Amino acid sequence: MPHTDPTGPTPAAPGPDPAAVAAAALRIEAALTAPGAPFAVVRTEDGAHIGPLVYADGPRTLREFVETTWAFGDRPFLISAERCYSYAEFFAAASALACRMTGTYGLRRGDRAVVAMRNHPEWQIAFWAAQLAGLVAVPLNAWWTEDEFTYALDDSEPRILLVDGERLPRVAGWAARNGARVVVFHGEEAVPDGLQGEGSVPGVFHEEGAAPGGVERYEDLPAPDPLAAPPEVEIRPEDDATILYTSGTTGRPKGAVATHLAQAGAALNPRFHAAASALGRGIIPGQGPAPVSLLTFPFFHVAAFTGFYAAMAAGGTLVLMRKWDAQEALRLIREHGVTHYAGVPATALQLLAAAEQAGDALESLRMLNTGGAAAPPDLVARLTSRYGDRIEPRNGYGLTETSGGVLANFGAEYRLHPGSVGRPTPTTEVRIAGSAGEALPEGEVGELWLRGQSLIRGYWRDEAATARAFTDGWFRTGDLAVVREGRVDVVDRIKDMVIRGGENVYCVEVEAVLHDHPDVEDAAVLGVAHPVLGEEVAAVVRLRAGATVTAEELRAHVGRSLAAFKVPAHVLVRDEPLPRNPTGKILKRELRGPVEAEVRGRPGSRGAAGGGAPGQGRVMRTR
């Protein structure tokens, strides 16, 4: 008999049986998707082709989805430092702007409407006004430079730009050259450093009708009529609803086009996961108070769509932040009784650290949801050790091409399998494909292919890219994954991409900018592990003979063309040629190990959580 020390630690109580937890998840899914149940599915067919699964009931367009929120009336919807909107105020404002779009501005179904602003409440008004008017909403990354905006504007050719004052200087020139209408929200922010003026860029605001496009302040428009309806526009499920820009392995941004039917499916996906989560905790879905969510994803990010769709479906409240700050997040959670937190793993870890340091019990919080990047497995362990089962952890998997999250891992299964991204939604089919596209058996690693209602129809005006990404209706994600007992584990990425704090950084794009510097002979960009951000960007460069450029100068050079989060946090200078294969492709697998070792071995190499703005990088010379 083994000796037992009576003074030693008390043995931990047995955990839940993994088989029982998995069986419970399957029973819950079966109950929610049975014929006549809220999330029943049907198979679509298109002639001789078998189509994806779709939800049998529910909205078929985003207009149908948002119109139901009017019933929530005076419930608070959007809370920010500037002001609060109830659902009734939000819907009236969106309807009024939609009527102005179709009436005063003469916009028609299918015209593109760019939305580019930080997380102001009015972002939601602008986006949903476009949907009510039958326009195609084009949310653009608010962190982009003028050159990056110009590329997407040239590509999407919008007739109207809905922007905040901070973005106005970056798009005003394009709008003037192309005769596009501009509506500016929070115009007092329109003065960038070095420009003078009373709350605007000089000369860009015009009286209505003074120019083919014209620029108006949203604050100067007539007050919304609370009883007015949105415009009468026929919107079909197959019509395009959104274009969200992403990038492929070539680094050129591509517009991922989702139809109304796809986005309606994306709106139901988080609702299904919420219902499954509730049943797993012994709660009847829909009972109890509406959720209050601190949503820290930028609205242009596809992960944010999952968050605000979930809140709107339940009549919940979104609490917004101007910029991420852990201490401010704690204050907002206390002040507004936040029940749900949603953000990238980096911000979730910072929130937990700040709460622990402050002795804040996060008493109102019931859900900690991460997305946009792989969550470190110890996140759920830290959460559970401090808060037990009271705060449910949740993560998942989604892409711009899936219109948001289509796999989710939460509750007991997440605690048992923290490295998994979970199970698919009822309308999402998973295939682990071999090199020839054949379906691999469970337990084997292959490329993750997805098919389902919420997937995009293709890339905007890029048939070649669409053909490369889709095979017989299946989207090839570029990620390597394995399925075990119905759960999906993503084990690696095929695509050459760094995910820094939830933002995609495409290496070839950064490499192209580095190559533009006259002192750079060769360059390779790759991701290195970071304990908070998940990954950060590192660059290995070989300089031309006699070059004297410094690491900070190279980082500043990148920062002039690309957003700050794409700027390498580490610059390593090599004297010898970079390793390449016979066809000339850089062998990054030979660089990754030495780069990781060099970064880890340097004092302070993990000191900064931001590591994106010029002036914070480091140079290392290796041989």
Distance CA 360, CA 588 (A): 44
Alpha helices in 359-423 (DSSP H): 378-387, 411-416
- The first and second tokens of residue 232, run together, are 């009468």
Residue type, 235: I
The CATH architecture one would assign to domain 18-57+255-493 is 3-Layer(aba) Sandwich (3.40)
Q: Which helix (H) or strand (E) holds 23?
A: helix 18-33
Give strand pairing partners of 78.
Answer: 85, 318
* Short-list 88, 112, 120, CA closest to 188: 120
Q: Is 519 helix (H, G, I), strand (E, B) or coil?
A: coil
Cα–Cα distance list, 146 to 101, 115, 167 (Å)? 25, 15, 9
pLDDT score of 581: 54
Distance CA 392, CA 214 (A): 49
pLDDT score of 384: 92
- Answer whether 451's CB lies under 8 Å from 474's CB: yes
pLDDT score of 583: 43
453 φ, ψ (degrees, to nearest 5): -60, -40
Domain boundaries defined on the chain:
18-57+255-493, 63-70+86-235, 497-622
Give strand pairing partners of 217.
Answer: 184
Q: Which helix (H) or strand (E) holds 241?
A: strand 240-247
- Answer whether 93's CB lies under 8 Å from 120's CB: no
Distance CA 49, CA 53 (A): 13
Mean pLDDT per 10-residue interval, the chain, length 623 residues? 40 71 94 96 80 95 97 97 96 98 97 97 98 98 93 98 97 96 88 35 42 79 94 97 75 89 98 95 89 95 95 97 95 98 90 95 96 79 92 94 97 92 97 95 95 98 95 93 94 77 83 88 90 93 90 94 94 87 66 87 46 42 43
pLDDT score of 149: 96
Helix, strand and coil content of the chain, in percent to the nearest 5, comes to: 35, 25, 40
Domain 63-70+86-235 bears CATH identifier 1.20.140.10:
no
* Short-list 352, 368, 234, CA closest to 294: 368
Domain 497-622 bears CATH identifier 3.30.300.30:
yes
pLDDT score of 585: 62
* Short-list 79, 508, 499, 463, CA closest to 301: 499
- Tens of pLDDT, residue by residue over 63-115, are 999 999 999 999 999 999 989 999 999 999 999 999 999 999 999 999 999 99
pLDDT score of 98: 98
Distance CA 607, CA 609 (A): 7
Angle between helices 260-280 and 302-313 (to 10 degrees): 70
Cα–Cα distance list, 387 to 166, 273, 383, 384 (Å)? 40, 22, 6, 5
Cα 617 from chain centroid (whole Å) = 26
Residues 6+ apart with CB under 8 A from 563: 141, 143, 144, 145, 148
pLDDT score of 530: 92
Residues 6+ apart with CB under 8 A from 253: 148, 151, 152, 155, 245, 246, 247
- The first and second tokens of residue 537, run together, are 């960007």
* Short-list 255, 237, 235, CA closest to 246: 255
pLDDT score of 90: 98
Distance CA 404, CA 264 (A): 11
- Tens of pLDDT, residue by residue over 537-594, are 999 999 988 898 999 999 999 999 999 999 999 999 888 888 875 445 678 878 988 9
The structure tokens 């009734």 sit at 88
pLDDT score of 193: 39
Phi-psi bin for 214: left (phi > 0), alpha (psi -120 to 50), beta?
A: left
- The first and second tokens of residue 296, run together, are 């820290």
Distance CA 26, CA 32 (A): 10
For Cα atoms 135, 139, 143, give the angle at the middle one, nearest 5 degrees: 160
- Tens of pLDDT, residue by residue over 284-342, are 988 889 999 999 999 999 999 999 999 999 999 999 999 999 999 999 999 999 999 99
Q: Which helix (H) or strand (E) holds 170?
A: helix 168-178
Distance CA 132, CA 69 (A): 13
- The first and second tokens of residue 277, run together, are 């989560």
- Answer whether 140's CB lies under 8 Å from 245's CB: yes
- Answer whether 497's CB lies under 8 Å from 504's CB: yes
pLDDT score of 50: 82
Q: Is 504 helix (H, G, I), strand (E, B) or coil?
A: strand
Domains 18-57+255-493 and 497-622 equal at CATH topology level? no
- Report DSSP state, residue 68: G
